[in-house]
Amino acid sequence: MESLLIHPTISTPFINFDLNSGIFEMSGVSRPEDVLDFYRPVMEWLEKLESNVLAKTTAGQELKKIQLEYKMDYFNTGSSKFILKITKVLSSIHQAGKDLSVTWHYEAGDEQMREDGEYLAEAADIEFNFQEDDE
């Protein structure tokens, strides 16, 4: 199974879910023209990863930990549901025995972004680390 790399555009985020390092990064802007279409391959990739972990395939066993890093500038409400779905799949992989940490980065002073992270953490029922970054 390959890592997932999606290059950013003016309306879609950078996604780099690196199976070798275990660092799963999503950053930038998310307001795709068709949110369902954009996130479909991401969700398919995550479901495949989950299957590999549950079936204890080589790919599943090689993944030791997941360090999920959200570094969003802004996202629309449609994307927020997918951020929640991504977090939930990774939480399920965590319950199957993989270490998981989630860090929610936000720009200094951007309390709305921090609050969005708090909603998502609560909805996913998982603890987020909050990291305030300088501009």
* Number of separate helices (H) and strands (E) present in the chain: 4, 6
CA distance 66 to 53: 12
Q: To the nearest whole angstrom, how small is the minimum distance from the Cβ of residue 44 to other proteins?
A: 17
Q: Is 98 left (phi over 0), alpha (psi -120 to 50) or beta?
A: beta
66-95 footprint of other proteins as x/- string (CB under 8 A): --------x-xxx-xx--x-----------
Nearer to other proteins, 2 or 134 (CB): 134
Q: Which two tokens stand for residue 65?
A: 């930990």
Query: Which one of 51, 65, 109, 133 is in contact with other proteins (CB under 8 A)?
Result: 109
Among the listed ranges 17-25, 97-105, 106-114, 126-134, the one in contact with other proteins (CB under 8 A) is 106-114
When asked if residue 111 is in the footprint of other proteins (CB under 8 A), the reply is yes
Q: To the nearest whole angstrom, how small is the minimum distance from the Cβ of residue 56 to other proteins?
A: 31
**Number of amino acids touching other proteins (CB under 8 A):** 25
131: which DSSP letter? E
76: which DSSP letter? -
* Binding to other proteins in span 32-71, by CB under 8 A: 33-36
Residue 35: closest CA among 85, 84, 82, 89: 82
Q: To the nearest whole angstrom, how small is the minimum distance from the Cβ of residue 109 to other proteins?
A: 5
User: 102, 121 in Cβ contact below 8 A?
Assistant: yes
Angle in degrees, 0-180, between the axes of helices 111-124 and 77-95, rounded to the nearest 10: 50
Q: Where on the chain is the footprint of other proteins (CB under 8 A)?
A: 10-11, 31, 33-36, 74, 76-78, 80-81, 84, 107, 109-113, 119-120, 122-123, 135
